[in-house]
Amino acid sequence: MGQSRILVYDIEVFQNFFCVVYQDYNTEQFEYFMIHHIRNDFDEFIDYMRKEVKNKSWFVGFNNLDYDAQIIEYMIDNLESFSKMTAEKICSKLFIKSNEIIHGRREDGFQLPYPEFKMKTKQLDIFKLNHWDNLAKRASLKWTQFTTDWHNLKESDIDFLDTIETKEQIKDVLNYCLNDVKSTRNVTKMSNKLIQLRQKLSREYNINLHSASEPKISKELFSYFLGKKLGVSRKEIKSLEPIQKDMIKVEDIILPYVKFNTPVFQSVLAKFKECIIFTNNTKGGFKHSINHMGCVTDYGLGGIHGARSKGVYESDEEMIIMSSDVTSFYPNLAIRNGWSPEHIPNKEFCDQYEWFFEERKKIPKSDPRNYVYKIILNSTYGLSNDKNSYLYDPELTMKITMNGQLSLSMLYEMILERIPDAVPLMQNTDGLETLIPRKYVDEYMKICKEWEDTTQLLLEHDTYQKLILADVNNYIAVYEYKYTDKETWEQLKKDNPFWLFKITPKGFGYAPAKCKGRFEFEGLALHKNKSFLVIKKAVFNYFVHGILPDQYIYTNQNIFDYCGGVRINAKQKLIEVQLDRESGRTIEKKQQKITRYYMSNRGSKLFKVSKEDNSKKMQVESDKSMCTVFNEFIEKPFTDYDINYQFYLKKIEAEIDKIEGSKQYKLFL
């Protein structure tokens, strides 16, 4: 954003009240304007906006492109008529427009009054940039307040259908708005690298990508490069009409090299060949499972997923866990086989797609272009299954996913067939893990090379010293020790406190660890649920560092690690029920839609209650434990939080027992 001023902002619109709060991102200074019968700042607000627009200031918000900026642009557009109105009349107009936008967005085909390219203000939307408008990653500002450990997880105490009459109400609304602005600035700060990348891309390609999600970046840049190759505009590329296909016979799209030697995998291929996919309704279109050598593997439309029974699997002097992933698996299936969306010129598409892959290999990971090309490679495949994308071609999607599963199964079969005592541990979309005798590592690599020659795909290999496995989506993997110089080792130790580090005769050793699914706790994406991180951390420390749960938990004095977050849907309300010790009666209090709490020895219980039927209720934590609502952070001596350690220890021990209870792999070996 160069030297331009950056203003983080938020608005509130009521029937008889409007306010906007700005915070300078760099100086952290605040300014606000309100429109009310007590005080009408409309003219001052317009003067302020004129100055900031003239200075090319950036306005940063959360979902502002679809709401806040719409209201601001409406005010600027109607400044002449608004300047002659009373405060009550202006607020009434804004309230009507606000409802039109809020309710209109729920209807198919609704067009916002002000598309971004028509706006007079320069907007940056943190909500869209992080792709939190996607159903799979949906996150509100309040949810990010929970996931960022924001000190004040606050929802408005005033209903937005109410009228604002008193100075105290005005103060409450402004404080609420101010808290939202501060937390938006915090999320903006955490998104700084993403923002800088989009600035660079916007300048380089003269495309407004400032608020673009990763799929949008892919869509825009692929159309830019493909348009240059074809000598047409991006608009022409994006107007290409997909060819409609109602049905796909999987047998017709299976690659000729797909072959199997063993009955179990031959039966898998037969099931694939029987499959017919109807493109208008793919849900549950194909499912098949096998149990091979103690490993249950599921096949579907999206990818292969398989895992051995839960347990701890370790390398030792005789056995080693091999991990092999296909490099850019799904993009490379399209590249190596010359596949493209049927309505797009094949050669130009394939040449361009391959160019991104080959260029990325030349660029170090520290270079932002490496990340951009990775986005384009992965998202382009994803866009082939998006009905709203100009790359939409469900047959291309199915060619990739169905052949991907079968190709990986070929490698799976080759390893188990040719390496004595090999134990399949896991298969997951683009790779697999296998426990093999160390003396067969060379044979393993030979098999992988043969597979690469057949498929024209590349594999990347690594080794684990330990795999703590719950299922294919939930596990902890600890790599074997790698060695580096002392300076790098010290920096890695500082940056990755949860890894394993040791000095041996070989040198300065470090063993990275990765956590997936419910075991993930470090660097969690802000849309994910970070509830009760202390449980995940304790489980990790037990399995990786050998620290007993009670030894760990009593030393963790980060109150936010003990906090859970609950969110309710539109048909529910959240009720806190507390026993009044003096009267013996229960007191009910309605809580926020998103509420933070921790488990305590004394306190209350939280229930999700149906708005239609109060008898339909479900306790947030199902046991007899009490909790303390903790929406506003209060700092005090740690013992004063009155944490119910037994609740957390019980959960930790249950998680450990789920994994340690399975020892079948030892019998198998």
* Nearest alpha carbon to residue 656 among 520, 498, 536, 532: 536
pLDDT value at residue 493: 94
58-61 and 122-125 strand pairing: parallel
Predicted local distance difference test score (pLDDT) of residue 665: 33
Confidence of residue 4 (pLDDT cuts 50, 70, 90): confident
Q: What letters, b where the CB count within 10 A reaches 16 and e where it falls short, cover 252-273?
A: ebbbeebebeeeebeebbeebe
Q: Cite the DSSP H helix spans in 363-393.
A: 368-383
Res 425: pLDDT: 97
Q: What is the mean pLDDT of residues 254-281?
A: 94
**What is the reported pLDDT for 244?**
84
Tell which phi-psi region holds residue 188, choosing left (phi > 0), alpha (psi between -120 and 50) or beta: alpha
Q: What is the pLDDT of residues 474-506, one digit of tens each?
A: 999 999 999 999 999 999 999 999 999 999 999
| Confidence at residue 338, expressed as pLDDT on a 0 to 100 scale | 96
Burial of 669 (0-12, 13-18, 19+ CB in 10 A): exposed
User: Is residue 55 predicted with pLDDT exceeding 50?
Assistant: yes
Residue 219 pLDDT > 60, yes or no?
yes
Average pLDDT of the segment spanning 185-200? 96
| Whether residue 617 has pLDDT greater than 60 | yes
Q: How many of the other CB atoms lie within 10 Å of CB of 161? A: 9
The owner of tokens 């959960």 is: 651
Q: Note the pLDDT of residue 281.
A: 73
Question: If you average pLDDT over residues 31-44, what whole number do you get?
Answer: 97
Judge contact between 258 and 407, C-beta under 8 A: yes
Query: What are 86-139's pLDDT values in tens digits?
Result: 999 999 999 999 999 999 887 877 899 999 999 999 999 999 999 999 999 999
Question: What is the average pLDDT value for the chain, to the nearest integer?
Answer: 94
**Terminal C-alpha separation, the chain:** 60
Report the pLDDT value the prediction gives residue 668, as an integer from 0 to 100.
31
Please indicate whether residue 650 or residue 583 has the higher confidence score (pLDDT): 650
Q: What is the pLDDT of residue 355?
A: 94
**CA 178, 180, 181, 182 torsion: positive or negative?**
positive
For 518, the token pair is 């419910």
Residue 502, judged by CB atoms within 10 A of its CB (0-12, 13-18, 19+), counts as exposed
Mean pLDDT, residues 257-262: 97
What is the C-alpha to C-alpha distance for residues 78 and 57, in angstroms, rounded to an integer? 21
Q: What is the pTM of this model?
A: 0.91
Residue 637 neighbours by CB under 8 Å, 6+ apart: none
pLDDT digits over 145-175, tens only?
999 999 999 998 888 889 999 999 999 999 9
Q: Mapped to the 3 state alphabet, what secondary structure does 344-360 carry?
A: CCHHHHHHHHHHHHHHH
Mean per-residue pLDDT, 423-437: 96
3-state secondary structure of 427: strand
Nearest Cα to Cα of residue 139 among 79, 90, 183, 182:
183
User: What average pLDDT does range 311-326 have in this prediction?
Assistant: 97
Specify the pLDDT at position 1: 67
What pLDDT, on a 0 to 100 scale, did the predictor assign at position 284? 64
Is the model more confident about 3 or about 475?
Answer: 475
- The radius of gyration of the chain from alpha carbons, rounded to an integer in Å, stands at 28
How far apart are the C-alpha atoms of 367 and 371, rounded to whole Å? 7
- Band (283; pLDDT cuts 50, 70, 90): low
Indicate whether 663 pLDDT > 50: no
* For residues 305-330, average pLDDT: 96
Return all residues near 361 (Cβ < 8 A) that are at least 6 apart.
none
519, 655 contact by CB (below 8 A): no
Query: Would you call 585 helix, strand, or coil by DSSP?
Result: coil
Q: What domains lie within the chain, and their CATH numbers?
A: 6-212 (3.30.420), 213-242+344-391 (no CATH), 254-326+392-519 (3.90.1600), 533-660 (no CATH)
